[in-house]
Amino acid sequence: MHADGCLESLKSYASQRLSLDCARWPGVLLFFAYSHSRKVNVGTTKLTRKEILAEDPVHEAMIRLVEFFQTNGKKIAIGAVIGALLAVGIYAGMQYLGQRQEKAQAQLARGMSFFHGQVAADATDDPFAKGPTPTFRDDSAKYKAAAKEFSAIASGFGSSQVSVIARYYLGLSQLQLGQKKEAVQNLENVAGNSRVRTVGYLAKRVLATEYMNSGNQKGAREILEGMIRDPQCDLPKEDLNVDLARILAAQGKRDEAIKVLRDASAQGPQFSLLKQRLSTELEKLQKVSTATPKP
């Protein structure tokens, strides 16, 4: 009877203070009734340790956590040491990689300074003897020194961005040294790499020029047409169209070359230095076409 009276009191209190609808929240009232009835029985029944733990789940969780640490303390300590060692190893690895990256960037800058260095007849073996700008006796010495720096980066830093850039300049240096086969291999490697997209397109353009100079006009045309159609290509399309027009003219397809230049001139801003180059190239082709009698 006492429990029933308490239940009625709880119902009245919940209705007045919380405006609960008994039909909508039966679980709340059942919880209050259950909790009160358990308290009533505690006074008349001696609970075991298991029942006490069941009465208080938070207390139970704390007790079990203490028992877990007492039982597994040694294992936990070893795990903490291992975790700390792993953290130190990861940090040291990141520091090492950062130092390697800085070294590669410094070496790349050195190679690029050699590539764009000066040539003087009175230059010494030390390229920096005359000042901060490297100076070499001839172009061959300049490009050999640059290729040495680029080759070390390309072979020692996998497929990282700095390695891709170094391989591109290595290909350019090899072209200047007459090492055509090695240069084409390196440039093709860069052209197929998407890690540094702009450098990849630059490599494709150099390849197109090399193909054209070596008589592979079909290969050069395919590369240029693909780059012109590619919306992701961020090289000036005007320059690419001029290169394509020259290839078509070399193949005897002057009408196609003129059409390429006219179509390119009709796109983008009307006045720019690049548009001026298109106009100049178009005038040259039109004059040649007019002067050449048709068979």
Structural domains of the chain, ranges and CATH numbers in brackets = 104-121+131-193 (no CATH), 196-295 (1.25.40.10)
d(C-alpha 178, C-alpha 171), whole Å: 11
pLDDT attached to residue 204: 95
Tell me the two tokens of residue 196. 């540094």
Contact call for residues 264 and 241 (beta carbons, < 8 A): yes
pLDDT attached to residue 194: 74
Is pLDDT above 60 for 173?
yes
Is pLDDT above 70 for 30?
no
d(C-alpha 220, C-alpha 231), whole Å: 19
To the nearest 10°, the Cα dihedral for 141, 193, 199, 112? -30
Is pLDDT above 70 for 80?
no
pLDDT attached to residue 87: 55
* Closest among 134, 110, 115 to 123, alpha carbons compared: 134
pTM above 0.85, yes or no: no
What's the whole-number average pLDDT of the chain? Answer: 76
pLDDT attached to residue 100: 72
Query: Hey, how many other C-beta atoms are within 10 angstroms of the C-beta on 90?
Result: 10
Is pLDDT above 80 for 16?
no
* Closest among 202, 195, 272, 185 to 243, alpha carbons compared: 202
pLDDT attached to residue 7: 42
Q: pLDDT per residue over 37-75, tens digit each?
A: 444 444 445 555 555 545 555 555 556 655 655 666 656
Q: pLDDT per residue over 263-274, tens digit each?
A: 888 886 666 777
pLDDT category, 11, cuts 50, 70, 90? very low
Q: What is the 3-state secondary structure (H, E, C) of the chain?
A: CHHHHHHHHHHHHHHHHCCCCCCCCHHHHHHHHHHHHHHHHHCCCCCCHHHHHHHCHHHHHHHHHHHHHHHHHHHHHHHHHHHHHHHHHHHHHHHHHHHHHHHHHHHHHHHHHHHCCEECCCCCCCCCCCCCCCEECCHHHHHHHHHHHHHHHHHHCCCCHHHHHHHHHHHHHHHHCCCHHHHHHHHHHHHCCCCCHHHHHHHHHHHHHHHHHCCCHHHHHHHHHHHHHCCCCCCCHHHHHHHHHHHHHHCCCHHHHHHHHHHHHCCCCCCCHHHHHHHHHHHHHHHHHHHCCCC
Handedness of CA 248, 250, 251, 255 (dihedral sign): positive
pLDDT attached to residue 72: 63
d(C-alpha 159, C-alpha 156), whole Å: 9
Tell me the two tokens of residue 98. 């950062």
